[in-house]
Amino acid sequence: ELVLKVRIQNPNLRENDFIEIELDRQELTYKELLRVSCHELGVNPEHVQKIRKLPNTMLRKDKDVARLQDFQELELVLTVSDKNLLFRVPALSEQSGYNKKASELTY
């Protein structure tokens, strides 16, 4: 398996963490990368404008995907605005396990 780190490109989010995905090394294609990334991130593949290998390289074809190495960071650049996204990132206070009192502690 090839392990990659992916996220949705969105500079407006305070926290925009990566998730790790696994791809079968026998199926390293652009289409499979798009399918798995979208499934894991809850994004419609039709809304993905491009896949960017950070910091500044656009992936375009199967050969680009075949050159990826473990733990490389990728971003899905979406074609739709924030208002039209099919998913919603919950506010920190809505996330399970959030503790307002603990968040105010200083070290």
Name the DSSP letter for residue 9: -
Domain boundaries, the chain: 2-78
Q: What are phi and psi of 29, to 5 degrees?
A: -125, 160
Say if CB 7 and CB 19 are below 8 A apart: yes
99-106 LR contacts (CB < 8 Å, sep 24+): none
- Asked whether the whole model's pTM tops 0.85, one would answer no
Tens digit of each residue's pLDDT, the chain (107 residues): 999 999 999 877 777 889 999 999 999 999 999 999 999 999 999 999 999 999 999 999 999 999 999 999 999 999 865 444 445 444 444 444 545 444 455 54
**Cα separation of 84 and 100, whole Å?**
30
CATH 3.30.70.3040 matches 2-78: no
Write the burial class of residue 7 (CB in 10 Å: 0-12 exposed, 13-18 middle, 19+ buried): middle
Alpha helices in the chain (DSSP H): 30-41, 62-66, 100-103
3-state secondary structure of 95: coil
